[in-house]
Amino acid sequence: MATKNHNLSDYDINTVPNAVGMKVGIVVAEWNESITASLLNGAKQTLMENGVAADDITVMTVPGSFELVYGASQMVKTGVDAVIAIGCVIRGDTPHDRYICQGVTYGLARLNAVQDVPVIYGLITTLDMQQAEDRAGGRMGNKGDECAITAIKMIDFLRNVKCKCKM
């Protein structure tokens, strides 16, 4: 799944729905805080650039990425239109990182399958800190920006699909 030629901050403004009035929850892991803080800033800034009011963005922290699933599962019950889960898992000397990534990925995917509020995957999984920096506002862009645009598009998707079902 190469992203060599894909800058995570690139998006076509013409394809982004108007986000005025959208409410977005963001759950952020404290582990690798320098990275997750950059991802959070990117997400917030991109949401606001596209019309989301600062007061309509709710940010909560959890200790590590493994806790993102619980954090997101609680956040979806608060009346937000979408939840972005932000974390950064960097490969270590043991396989622990792989278990965390599997748990978070499965947990967030499951949340999307069993309830109505879209949950956006903002987990960076890298081999080292440089790769993480590259994707948190570095040469590959900022995955937080990508998550913000995905959240807006998924909220719009849900609104449209509900309209179509009523017809």
Q: What does the per-residue mask of binding to ligand RBF show for 33-72, with x meaning CB under 6 A?
A: ------------------------------xxxxx-----
Report in angstroms how near the CB of residue 61 gets to ligand RBF at its nearest.
Answer: 11
Minimum CB separation of residue 101 from ligand RBF in Å reads 9
Which among 145, 40, 28 is positioned nearest to 75, based on CA atoms? 28
SS3 breakdown of the chain: % helix, strand, coil, rounded to 5? Answer: 50, 20, 30
β-bridge mates for residue 120, sequence order: 84
- Asked whether position 100 contacts ligand RBF by CB under 6 A, the answer is yes
d(C-alpha 103, C-alpha 140), whole Å: 26
Residue number, 27 or 152, with CB nearest to ligand RBF? 27
Taking Cα atoms as reference points, which of 26, 145, 36 lies closest to residue 74? 26
Query: Is 6 a residue of the active site?
Result: no
Q: Is 79 near ligand RBF (CB under 6 A)?
A: no
d(CA 153, CA 149): 6
Of 6, 96, 159, 162, which is the active-site residue?
A: 96
User: Catalytic amino acids?
Assistant: 96
Interface positions with ligand RBF (CB under 6 A): 29, 31-32, 63-67, 87-90, 92, 96-97, 100
